[in-house]
Amino acid sequence: MGSQRKKKEKKKDFVKPKLKVGKTKPKATSYTELGFRAKAIGIPEQSITKTHTSRETFDHHLSLARHHSHSARREALAYLQAHLPEEVDSSLFTSISPLILDPTPTVRAAVLSLVRAIPTSSLAPHVHLISLYIHSGMTHLAPDIRADSSKFLLFVLKAEDADIPMQLVTRSWEKTLHCFGSLLGWDLASPPPPGSSIPAGSGNWNKVGNATSIDRIANAAGHLDALSFFLRLGLSENLTPEMQAQREVPVYHADTSKHLIPRNATAPYARLGLFVEDKSRRWTAVSSTEDIGARYQLLKGMLPGILAGLDSGRRQGGEIGRKCKYLIDFLDKVKSETEKLQ
């Protein structure tokens, strides 16, 4: 009995109702009446998005500088440049400095544009951090990153505030020279013996930058411009009397000898190597070379390798040959004038 009733109820679901002419079609059981009217609709918040302050938005785009997408990084850098605050704190330099080594060329170009827009007063305290990534770029495995490294270096060297380039010169003189040797393919540790010559173009002139030879020559010329500017800042091309005075032998105090270890004394701590120069050290983390004489003494050991590399570029001719010839003449002038003062 119960089963018959269930069968009849199931059949009702499949029975098609018969419509009569002039009669309204019956409404579905799931129909919702929408004929009501409301005078007002109350919403707790008129805006579904939270209103951020300018600093919060700036910090948000600052975090996007580490985004995995290169387009997001580039757009974030463009926003940061357009909304730079009057006083830039260290968080900006901490976020954008690693992008000097970014694999995408457009991102590196955006970083360079942003750094140029930063006031020099805010840039000066962070030169050491930026120089660390510039040195990494000069010795990077990717050729295009190495090619762009001299652009960042030239920006630092040509800064309006004289304290900015001199920080790089006095603190990283030796390290920067070694990075130039790696960048240009020069062997500064073991230069060719005197009297021998290396083939023209045997340096890194034809291995710098992108695929086309025009780009390679342009990149090599940019490296030479940076090297020329760096050497002229450190060694002073136009020697004034004040600069010449810096090259003179320093005057020590009269009692200096009393505080030095006598040369004929025994050396009980010689095994520790405390007073022996470490020959395996290529450069110090921070080489403080405040005077021109100290910088030239560091350059003197690398000078044969630098002159050999410049001579190969000079014999190649063209724009690279002209720039190499200028540097050779400048270094010869500095060498002769320095030896006169010693």
318-339 pLDDT, tens digit each: 888 899 999 999 998 888 877 7
Choose from 15-24, 160-169, 189-198, 213-222 the range with maximum mean pLDDT.
160-169
Domain interval for residue 104: 55-118
Amino acid 238: pLDDT: 46
The distance from CA 322 to its chain's CA centroid, rounded to whole angstroms, is 28
More confident residue, 152 or 217: 152
How far apart are the C-alpha atoms of 139 and 116, rounded to whole Å?
Answer: 23
Q: What average pLDDT score do residues 68-80 get?
A: 94
Q: Does residue 17 lie in a domain region?
A: no
265-279 pLDDT, tens digit each: 455 566 566 655 555
Amino acid 120: pLDDT: 86
Q: Does residue 107 lie in a domain region?
A: yes
CATH number for the domain that contains residue 106: 1.25.10
Contact yes or no for 213/205 (Cβ under 8 A): no
On whether both 114 and 148 belong to a single domain, the answer is no
On whether both 297 and 160 belong to a single domain, the answer is yes
Amino acid 5: pLDDT: 82
On whether both 335 and 234 belong to a single domain, the answer is yes
pLDDT at 99 over 90: yes
Least trusted range by pLDDT, from 52-66, 203-217, 307-321 = 203-217
Q: What average pLDDT score do residues 198-217 get?
A: 54
Q: Of 83, 118, 153, which marks where a domain is finished?
A: 118
pLDDT at 19 over 70: yes
Q: Does residue 78 lie in a domain region?
A: yes
Amino acid 130: pLDDT: 94
Q: What average pLDDT score do residues 310-323 get?
A: 87
On whether both 216 and 329 belong to a single domain, the answer is yes
pLDDT at 287 over 50: no
On whether both 216 and 175 belong to a single domain, the answer is yes
Number of domains making up the chain: 2
**Residue 294 in tokens:** 């100290």
On whether both 235 and 100 belong to a single domain, the answer is no
Confidence of residue 12 (pLDDT cuts 50, 70, 90): confident
Average pLDDT, the chain: 78
Amino acid 230: pLDDT: 94
**77, burial (CB in 10 Å: exposed 0-12, middle 13-18, buried 19+):** buried
Q: Please give the torsion angle defined by the CA atoms of residues 222, 224, 230 and 232, in that order, rounded to the nearest 10 degrees.
A: -120
pLDDT at 60 over 80: yes
Amino acid 326: pLDDT: 92
Q: Does residue 2 lie in a domain region?
A: no
pLDDT at 282 over 80: no
Long-range pairs for 199-205: beta carbons < 8 A, 24 or more residues apart: 199/312, 200/312, 200/313, 200/315, 200/316, 201/312, 201/313, 201/315, 201/316, 202/312, 203/309, 203/312, 203/313, 205/312, 205/313, 205/316, 205/320
Short-list 147, 149, 67, 79, CA closest to 117: 79
Residue-by-residue DSSP string for 132-147: HHHHHHHT-SSHHHHH
Contact yes or no for 98/116 (Cβ under 8 A): no
Which residue has 């020099």 as its token pair? 120
Q: Does residue 82 lie in a domain region?
A: yes
More confident residue, 15 or 85: 85
Which residue has 């304290």 as its token pair? 163
Amino acid 247: pLDDT: 40
Choose from 254-263, 272-281, 286-295 the range with maximum mean pLDDT.
286-295
Amino acid 64: pLDDT: 92
On whether both 250 and 321 belong to a single domain, the answer is yes
On whether both 316 and 176 belong to a single domain, the answer is yes
Q: Give pTM, 2 decimals.
A: 0.69
